[in-house]
Homo-oligomer: A and B are copies of this chain.
């Protein structure tokens, strides 16, 4: 079987016109190079050097093959260098999951942070849909992700909470903002809920359900949408109210629903943001970088945990 080692020996021998000199350059003993050349001649079925007393002389076959050998070695070297560049994050792709509302805390800014440190890399921030992120993580297509979670455990996954943010009630009706939203008021409200978290069950919904369950009531979700942006727009149009983490509300309201405002819940509730990856996985430098930067971003807006 053809090997790079043989080609390396071939080129060194060709250039020096001597097995001994080639061996010296490669740091081997002369018989080793001799053996490699013989092996190469055998695998290719051609004679590459004429053994002529003192030294060896390349045949015309060797002349013909040399450029090919050089190209092959160069390609291999390029492969090695590409790996090195990727390892140093000078190039390559960094893929990171970030679902729903989390990207409002650390979306474009996070990408900017990465590019500032590593201008050559490609960044992929995936997460259109919560189940997709979850599936990607489970299947290994995604190494790590920043997500909002309903609870801090998940089988087969390491979930590391990094921040929490208070949930707030959002409405375009000023009357509903005069006092904190209680369970009773939430039960009567008609709500638009975005799908913002990692598990199929949205964390905000779980929290609300728990809150209302204690009062014996059920939440009335009138509208379900995917993006928090759409939910906020609908709130702005007065078609429904909503519940979102405060940071998201502060970011979206001025832009999408300037006539709306928000108040705390009573009792106050928190949504948690966490880093998630497969249990026991050794994280790549790229993933560690993303985790570090995403955590910094989100902790600048929401309240750090631990």
* Residues of A near any B CB (own CB < 8 A): 1-5, 7, 44-47, 50-52, 56-57, 59-61, 63-65, 68-69, 71-72, 74-76, 78-80, 82-84, 86-87, 91-95, 124, 139-141, 143, 278, 281-282, 284, 286
Contact = CB atoms under 8 A, between A and B. Distances in A.
Contact of A92 (B44, B61, B76, B139): B61
B2 A79 contact: yes
Contacts of A281: 50
A111 to B, nearest CB: 15
Given A2-B76, A46-B87, A52-B139, A92 B68 contact: no
A177 B87 CA distance: 88
A171 B73 CA distance: 62
Contacts of A92: 60-61, 64
B59 A284 contact: yes
Given A44-B84, A60-B93, A72-B78, 4 more contacts: A46-B86, A50-B143, A65-B79, A69-B79
A52 B278 contact: yes
Given A91-B64, A140-B50, A71 B78 contact: yes
A79 B5 contact: no
Contacts of A45: 83-84, 87
A3 B5 contact: yes
A279 B92 CA distance: 58
Given A5-B1, A44-B80, A72-B72, A86 B61 contact: yes
Given A4-B3, A72-B76, A86 B64 contact: yes
B64 A93 contact: yes
A83 B46 contact: yes
Nearest to A53: B140
Nearest to A57: B140
Contacts of A69: 79
Nearest to A136: B57
B2 A57 contact: no
A44 to B, nearest CB: 4
A216 to B, nearest CB: 43
27 contacts: A1-B5, A2-B79, A3-B5, A4-B4, A45-B84, A45-B87, A47-B282, A47-B284, A50-B140, A52-B139, A52-B140, A52-B278, A56-B140, A57-B139, A59-B284, A60-B93, A60-B124, A61-B87, A61-B284, A63-B93, A64-B93, A65-B79, A65-B82, A68-B78, A68-B79, A71-B78, A72-B75
A56 B176 CA distance: 53
